[in-house]
Chain A
Amino acid sequence: MQVSRPQLSLWEKTYIPQIVRGLWLTLQHIPRRKFTRNYPEEKPPLYGLYRGVPTLVRDPEGRVKCVSCQLCEFVCPPKAIRVIPGFRNDAAPDAPVEKEPSDFIIDMTRCIYCGMCEEVCPEEAIFLKNVFSLCGYRREELRFHKEKLLELGGIHDDKIWKWKNK
């Protein structure tokens, strides 16, 4: 490719016209709307499928959806998930669900936010929500247990109620 070299006049060779144009440009930027934001107060806008912290959700009846099949534990590439299976202690005799995890631990210092746990879950019980800012004083604070994960997940607005009519 050939780039033609422009013939500069003497006035242009002093660079003064370009310097003035540059100064005008930067001056115009001073009153402009800023691109950065006051971070902890103003959170950035996140799109709906944002892959943040993995969480456990409840179904609209308040039941823990996870049945502790441990597929997420097996699929997790960095082995951040640990599921301790257990039986539902408040299970009604006619309840179709027999199991739920007695504890469900996600080590957030290991999680890589790949979302494979969400993909693999047959019960649609684990979702990556839009929480992205994690901090703690000790490692233990970043090992999220079942209660914490359920609290983060909340109730999932299911379209299909799998256990309703069984």
Chain B
Amino acid sequence: MIEGLLISVIKIAVVLWAMLTIVAYAVLWERWLCAWIQDRLGPNRVGPRGVLQPLADGLKFIFKEDVIPRHVNRLYYMLAPMIAMSPALITVAVIPWGSALPIAGHPIKCVIADLNVGVLFVFAISSLGVYGIVLAGWASNSKYPFLGGIRSSAQMISYEVCLGLSVAPVFMQVGSLNLGRIVEYQASHGWLVVYPIQWVSAFVFMVSAFAETNRLPFDLPEAEQELVGGYHTEYSSMKFAMFFLGEYAAMFLASALMVTLFLGGWSLPLAPFNAPAKELWVGMAHIGIFIGKVLLLLFVFIWVRWTLPRFRYDQLMGLGWKVFVPLTLANVALSGTALALMEK
């Protein structure tokens, strides 16, 4: 009992620490990549080649003056950044970041909460993330944040539908909502992304994830050119940083989910890595493989951001409701039929 509790606490501490580190470095990674894509040098002053930049950024944010405008609703204004950050931190609990670590005889599962409804839990919590943005927009009591908040809520609700529907074929093929089991299925049967019936799912999931995390080409809630800074216009100092980190944490989570659902999680199609670990080093390697895949997807997120222009608002809604919703519905029906035929 005590032992299990202790292991959980250690797992939570390690995962949160690792996640926040990756999120902080995702910011640096983004700044580097955007600089390189634009033929610039990028941050290279703090520490060797600029690798300590996140520390400097964090220190700067903490010591900056925290301005609370007089016209805001103070309670909601304070609450919004906390809410924006927390869903990503909560949902990381069900992501299997490795198979198992066999320590002292018994294997320790590399997931904080091994829920049987893992995917549903993720969707339920991550859609709460919109409250942070809407509250920020509302509490700021000024027009640009308000418009950003409105846009964000409409966008997230629309794409939630596609996001939920796009993963239905995954459950139909695997037969489980448990993220750990989905990864184990992929380890033994091959990654889901190699099955043609999952291609549409993977594509729609990826695009919806961009919309859910408010990343370009769908970053309408904070469209700088139209809305100044969007929902975080009135925020400064560490409160702004919380929104910023929340966006990257959501991005990290979307990447982790994409890896778990379609790209085989911790598995590689090679002999010791395609089954749950029996030895410690394999378990460690699985964690490394998972993080590597997530970093690769983070690269894709950033790469797309610095390539594509922003969608117009009606195009965004049109894409969501007129293209993706019918497409995912058809995809559910078609892949369901295909799976039923294959089983016969």
Contact = CB atoms under 8 A, between A and B. Distances in A.
Interface in B1-55: 33, 36-41, 44
Contacts of A36: 39-41
A34 B304 CA distance: 20
A23 B41 contact: no
Interface in B290-331: 303-304, 306-308
Interface residues of A, number: 16
B215 to A, nearest CB: 14
A8 interface: no
A26 B41 contact: no
B4 to A, nearest CB: 46
Nearest to A16: B203
Interface size class of B (residues with CB under 8 A): 10 to 19
B255 to A, nearest CB: 17
A23 B300 CA distance: 10
A3 interface: no
Contacts of B307: 19, 22-23, 25-26
B184 to A, nearest CB: 32
A35 B40 contact: yes
Interface of B, helix, strand, loop or mixed by DSSP: loop
Contacts of A23: 303-304, 307
Contact of B36 (A19, A22, A30, A38): A30
Given A19-B308, A22-B308, A29 B38 contact: yes
Interface string B196-218: 00000000000000000000000
Given A19-B308, A22-B307, A26-B303, A32 B39 contact: yes
Contact of B44 (A22, A30, A38): A38
A26 B37 contact: yes
Interface string A22-51: 110111011111111110000000000000
Given A19-B308, A22-B308, A30 B40 contact: no
Contact of A27 (B39, B44, B303): B303
A30 B308 contact: no
Contacts of B33: 30
B41 to A, nearest CB: 5
Contacts of A32: 36, 39
Contact of B306 (A26, A31, A37): A26
Contacts of B304: 23
Contacts of B41: 34, 36-38
Given A19-B308, A22-B308, A34 B39 contact: yes
Given A23-B304, A27-B303, A35 B39 contact: yes
A91 B303 CA distance: 71
A43 B33 CA distance: 24
A120 to B, nearest CB: 42
A11 to B, nearest CB: 14
19 contacts: A19-B307, A19-B308, A23-B303, A23-B307, A26-B37, A26-B306, A26-B307, A27-B303, A29-B38, A30-B33, A31-B36, A32-B36, A33-B39, A34-B36, A34-B39, A35-B39, A36-B41, A37-B41, A38-B44
Given A26-B306, A29-B36, 14 more contacts: A19-B307, A22-B307, A22-B308, A23-B303, A23-B307, A25-B307, A26-B37, A27-B303, A29-B37, A30-B33, A34-B39, A35-B39, A37-B41, A38-B44
